[in-house]
């Protein structure tokens, strides 16, 4: 309980908070970390593919149908709603604090909760564009089998629709990255939630933080705990419920 009190004090005193989130914050919304998902076993070819390989740019080009097979079953959760943790940080903002969110998640739940300054460094499943003409499509269009050839969503022009999700082998969006970096650099408090900080580039972002208090909330210890002012090893939904 002492750690919760300490966290409460840090948040009360903070003026500019940057929340950095990973898969852990969306687990209470029913979204598992796709990196822990099983790969895709293809019966025809008889080989097993790791998730990291499936969600790569070259795999998308070579095996578009298998990509969407995995993508639709493991990465898109149309019914998912923001949970108490997403809502808590949106409420803090409404209460008058400056709160920015930098997230590795692609579920769009921080914006759905009402946070206004969100940097989705790995993109979002909610945005999709035709690879030929650029036309925008939402997630429900992409998920609707009527709009697909097999599993592959097609534009009205016949082009393949690609999710605005950063795949392995693809660069991050420069403007999102620079927004995220300046949000981190200008914060007096950084709260890192639900990420083991081993996935690039999460760990490298922390070094831009120059503020007073660095807090890490994760189920398991991370390699950054030694530089944190406070580390809490607990589910974020449970931490937030105690803060209220």
Q: 157 or 198, CB closer to Zn ion?
A: 157
> Nearest distance from residue 66's CB to Zn ion, in Å?
22
Q: Is 130 in the site for Zn ion (CB under 5 A)?
A: yes
Nearest distance from residue 160's CB to Zn ion, in Å?
9
Q: Which of 243, 220, 244 is nearest to 24 (CA)?
A: 220
Q: Does the protein bind Zn ion through residue 227 (CB under 5 A)?
A: no
Considering the complex, state which of residue 130 and residue 183 has its C-beta at the smaller distance from Zn ion: 130
Asked if 157 touches Zn ion (CB under 5 A), the answer is yes
Interface with Zn ion includes 133 (CB under 5 A)?
A: yes
Contact flag: residue 155 with Zn ion (CB under 5 A): yes
Residue 29: DSSP 8-state: G
Active-site annotation holds for 110: no
Contacts with 149 (C-beta within 8 Å, 6 or more apart), sequence order: none
> With CB under 5 A as the contact rule, which of the stretches 17-25, 112-120, 135-143, 187-195 interacts with Zn ion?
135-143
d(CA 127, CA 142): 10
- The closest alpha carbon to 124, from 148, 145, 104, belongs to 104
Among 62, 94, 135, 242, the residue binding Zn ion under the rule CB under 5 A is 135
DSSP 115-155: -SSEEETTEEEEEEEETTT--EE-HHHHH-GGGEETTEEB-
**Residue 62 bridge partners (DSSP):** none
Using rule CB under 5 A, residue 61 touches Zn ion? no
Cis amide bond preceding 201, omega within 30: yes
- Under the binding rule (CB under 5 A), the answer on residue 132 touching Zn ion is yes
Instruction: Kindly identify the residues of this chain, within the stretch 160-189, that bind Zn ion according to CB under 5 A.
Output: none
Q: Which residues contact Zn ion (rule: CB under 5 A)?
A: 130, 132-133, 135, 155, 157, 159
- Catalytically active residues, by annotation: 122
């Amino acid at each position: 309980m002492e750690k919760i009190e300490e966290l409460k004090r840090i948040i009360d005193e903070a003026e500019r908070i940057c929340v950095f989130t990973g898969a852990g914050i969306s687990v209470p919304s029913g979204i598992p970390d796709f990196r822990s998902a099983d790969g895709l076993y293809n019966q025809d070819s008889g080989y097993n593919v790791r998730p990291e390989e499936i969600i790569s740019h070259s795999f998308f080009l070579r095996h578009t149908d298998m990509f969407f097979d995995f993508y639709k079953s493991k990465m898109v959760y149309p019914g998912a709603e923001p949970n108490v943790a997403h809502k808590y940080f949106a409420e803090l903002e409404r209460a008058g604090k400056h709160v920015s969110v930098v997230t590795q998640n692609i579920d769009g739940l921080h914006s759905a909760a009402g946070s206004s300054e969100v940097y989705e460094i790995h993109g979002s499943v909610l945005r999709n564009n035709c690879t030929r003409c650029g036309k925008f499509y939402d997630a429900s269009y992409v998920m609707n089998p009527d709009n697909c050839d097999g599993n592959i969503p097609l534009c009205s022009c016949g082009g393949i629709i690609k999710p605005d999700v950063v795949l392995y082998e693809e660069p991050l969006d420069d403007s999102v990255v620079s927004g995220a970096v300046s949000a981190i650099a200008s914060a007096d408090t950084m709260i890192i939630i639900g990420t083991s900080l081993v996935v690039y580039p999460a760990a490298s972002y922390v070094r831009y933080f120059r503020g007073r208090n660095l807090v890490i909330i994760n189920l398991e210890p991370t390699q950054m705990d030694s530089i944190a002012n406070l580390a809490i090893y607990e589910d974020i939904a449970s931490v937030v419920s105690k803060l209220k």
